Structure 1
Amino acid sequence: MSDNHKIVLEGVSKAFGPNHVLDGVNLEIERGESMAIIGQSGSGKSVTLKCILGLIKPDSGAIRVDGEDLLSMRSRDLARVRAKFGMLFQGSALFDSLPIWRNVTFALTQGRQRETAKMRRIATENLERVGLGSNVLDLRPSELSGGMQKRVALARAIAPRPEIIFFDEPTTGLDPIRADVINDLIVELVEDLGVTALTITHDMASARKIAHRVAMLYQGKIIWRGPRDRLYDSGNPYVDQFVQGRAEGPIR
Structure 2
Amino acid sequence: MAEDFKIVLEDVAKAFGSNRVLDGVNLEIERGESMVIIGQSGSGKSVMLKTILGLIKPDRGAIRVDGRDLTHMSNRELEAARAKFGMLFQGSALFDSLPIWRNVTFALTQGRARDTANMRKIAAENLERVGLGSSVLDLRPSELSGGMQKRVALARAIAPRPEIIFFDEPTTGLDPIRADVINDLIVELVEELGVTALTITHDMASARKIAHRVAMLYQGKIVWRGPRDRLYDSGNPYVDQFVQGRAEGPIR
The TM-score range, normalised by the shorter chain, is: over 0.9
Q: What CA deviation, in whole Å up to 9, does each residue of 1:117-165 have, x standing for no partner? A: 0000000000000000000000000000000000000000000000000
Question: How many residues were matched structurally?
Answer: 252
1:1-252 to 2 correspondence within 5 Å? Answer: 2-252=2-252
Q: What CA deviation, in whole Å up to 9, does each residue of 1:8-59 have, x standing for no partner? A: 0000000000000000000000000000000000000000000000111100
Q: Which amino acid aligns with 1:238?
A: Y
Give the Cα–Cα distance (whole angstroms) in 2 for the partners of residues 225 and 138 of structure 1. Answer: 44
Q: Which runs of 5+ in 1 are unaligned?
A: none
Q: Which runs of 5+ in 2 are unaligned?
A: none
Q: Which amino acid aligns with 2:109?
A: T
Q: Which amino acid aligns with 1:174?
A: L
Q: Which amino acid aligns with 1:134?
A: S
Q: Which amino acid aligns with 1:39?
A: G
TM value normalised by structure 2 = 0.99
Dislocated runs of 4+, deviation >6 Å: none
Give the Cα–Cα distance (whole angstroms) in 2 for the partners of residues 81 and 238 of structure 1. Answer: 34
Report how far residue 75 of structure 1 moved: 1.4
Q: Which amino acid aligns with 2:168?
A: D
Give the Cα–Cα distance (whole angstroms) in 2 for the partners of residues 43 and 192 of structure 1. Answer: 32
- Pairwise CA RMSD of aligned residues? 0.5
| % identical equivalent positions | 88
Give the Cα–Cα distance (whole angstroms) in 2 for the partners of residues 34 and 139 of structure 1. Answer: 32
Report how far residue 76 of structure 1 moved: 1.4
